[in-house]
Amino acid sequence: MNFYDSQKITTILESKGYQLQDSPDKADLVVFNTCNIRDKAAHKVYSDIGRVNKFDNKKTIAVVGCVAQAENSEMFKKNHAIDIVLGPQSYHLLPQMIKDLEKKSKLINTEFIVNEKFDYLSEQHRPQGISSFITIQEGCDKFCSFCVVPYTRGPEYSRSIEAISKEADLLTSKGAREIVLLGQNVNAYQDLSLNKVKRLNHLIENLSKNENIKRIRYTTSHPINMNKELIDCHADSSKLMPFLHLPVQSGSSTILRKMNRKYDSNFYKEIIYKLKKAKPSIQISSDFIVGYPGETDKDFQDTLDLVDEMKFTQSYSFIYSSRPGTKAASESDVTPLHIKKERLKILQEKLRNIQLKFNKGFCNKNIEVLIENKSASNPEYFFGRTPYMQSVYIKSSNLKDGDIKNVSISTCNHKSLYGSC
Ligand code: SAH
Ligand code: SF4
C-alpha cells in the first residue's frame, strides 16, 4: 500500500510542476513515506533523513505515512530537519502544505479525512505497469493486540465500486492487465453507496467484465471476513487467481486468543479446507509472528504443525515487535531474544523447504505466465508471474509485456522459476 501511496503522492506533486529525481541528492524536496508496523521500519526514517541531509541542509523534508501519524509533533523534536509531518489519510494536502511553508516553518496534519483523500486522488493516476495496484479499502476496526494499524490508518473505510472501476479503466487503458486490490482488511470491503451493500465478490464480478483485465488478486485478507460468497467467487471467477494471502499469525489457539485475532486454529483450517473444496488448485500464503509475549515451546510447535498441515507456498514471518500504545506492549514478555530468533529460523527454514518443493513440482512442466517486463538485472530475460505469484525469469527475445504465455520451466530455487518459451 505504501508503494501505491507513493505513486499517488508523486502524481499529485507532478501535477503541480514537480519533477521526480532518480536520487535524493538532486532533489529540493524529499518525501519519506513511512511504515510503523515494526520498530525497525519506524526507526529507519531518522537514519534515512540523516543520509539525504548529509551534504545539504536546504532540502524540504516531508515525512508522511504511519510513522508521521503515530509520532506526530514528536518527530520535529527528534529531527530538526523535518518541515512537514503528514498522516496517511491526508497526504492529498501535501502541495498546499509545501506552499504554506513560506509563511510558517513546521507544519503538521494527522487527521483522518480518508473520503476527501480518495475524492481528490480519483483524478490522480500514474501508470504502474502490467500488474497494477488499486487501494479499495483502508483502515481497521479489529484491534489485534500487537498491531498499530487501527491507530495509524484509522477505522475501516471502503471506496465505491464505481470509483474503483473508473480507476481500473484508466489503469488498463495505460497497459495494466492484472489488478491487485489492496486493503489492510481487503475482504472486509463493503460499498455502502448503493441501496444494497456490495462486497468484495461483487467488486470482483464487476471488474471481471473489463476485457482488458486478465487477472485479479486481492490482499491482505482477515480470516473472519472470508465469507461464503467470497469463497464461492474463487470457484466461479476465472479471472480471480488461485492464490490467497491469508495471514494466520500463529498456529496456537491460546496465542490467537491473546492476540485478539477472533478465530482459533481450527476455524482457520476450516476456511482453508472450504477454499480448497471450492477451488482445488488454490495455494495459500500467510504471515506469522514468532515470540508473541507468553509464547511457549508448545505454542510454537502448534505453529510448526499448522505449517506442516497447510503447506503454505509463500509466507512472511517476523519476530514480535512491541509497538507503543498497543495492548500487547503492556504484557510481560519474558522469552529471551535468542530463543525468538531460533524459533524464527526454524519456522523460516520449514517455510522455505515447502516453497522449494512446491516450485520443484513445476520443473519440466508448462505453466501460464503473465509477462510483466524485461528483467532489470539481465536483459536476456523477461520477468513474469504464474497464477500462484511465483516469479518467473524467461529466456526469450520476442515476448510482449502483457502477454500470457505457456512457459516451459527448466529449473528453480525457493524464490523463482526459470524457463523459456
Ligand atoms: N490485516 C492483516 C495484516 C496487516 S499488517 C491481517 O490481519 O492479517 C501485516 C503483517 O505485519 C501482519 O500480518 C503481521 O504478521 C505483521 N505485524 C503486524 N504487527 C506486528 C508486530 N507488532 N510485530 C511483528 N509483526 C507484526
Ligand atoms: Fe492489524 Fe490486521 Fe489485526 Fe487490523 S486485522 S489490527 S491490520 S493485524
Pocket test for ligand 1, best of 147, 224, 323 (most atoms within 8 A of CB): 147
Residue-level pLDDT at 284: 98
**1 and 36 in contact (C-beta within 8 Å)?**
no
Between CA 369 and CA 386 the distance in angstroms is 5
All three cell numbers of 367, joined, read: 505453466
Domain ranges, ordered by start, for the chain:
2-111, 115-360, 366-420
- Domain 115-360 bears CATH identifier 3.30.70.260: no
Nearest CA to ligand 1 atom 21: 321
Q: Give helix 200-208 / helix 161-173 axis angle, nearest 10°.
A: 40
Query: What residue ranges line ligand 2, CB within 6 angstroms?
Result: 140, 142-144, 147, 149-150, 184-185, 222
Nearest ligand 1 atom to the CA of 317 is 15
Residue-level pLDDT at 206: 97
Q: Please report, in angstroms and rounded to a whole number, the separation of the first and last CA atoms in the chain.
A: 33
The rounded Å distance from CA 147 to ligand 1 centre is 6
Residue with cell 499448522: 306
Residue-level pLDDT at 416: 96
Q: What's the CATH code, domain 366-420?
A: 2.40.50.140
How many Cα neighbours within 13 Å face the side chain of 140?
A: 21
All three cell numbers of 232, joined, read: 464461492
Residue-level pLDDT at 25: 87
Between CA 31 and CA 59 the distance in angstroms is 10
Residue-level pLDDT at 123: 65
**85 and 75 in contact (C-beta within 8 Å)?**
yes
Residue-level pLDDT at 365: 98
The rounded Å distance from CA 241 to ligand 2 centre is 24
Alpha helices in 92-199 (DSSP H): 94-100, 114-121, 149-152, 161-173
Average pLDDT by stretches of 10, the chain with 421 residues: 91 93 92 94 90 80 96 94 94 94 93 84 76 95 97 95 94 96 97 93 98 98 98 97 98 98 98 98 98 98 98 97 96 96 98 98 98 87 97 92 96 96 88
Nearest ligand 2 atom to the CA of 140 is 4
How many Cα neighbours within 13 Å face the side chain of 129?
A: 14
| Architecture label for domain 2-111 | 3-Layer(aba) Sandwich (3.40)
Q: Is 276 exposed, middle or buried (CB count within 10 Å of its CB: 0-12, 13-18, 19+)?
A: middle
CA angle 97, 23, 181 (to 5 degrees): 70
Nearest CA to ligand 2 atom 1: 147
Cβ neighbors of 364 (< 8 A, separation 6 or more) are: 408, 409, 410
Nearest ligand 1 atom to the CA of 319 is 24
| Residue 198 to residues 52, 191, 192, 204, 239, Cα–Cα distance (Å) | 46, 5, 7, 11, 19
The rounded Å distance from CA 37 to ligand 1 centre is 7
Residue-level pLDDT at 55: 65
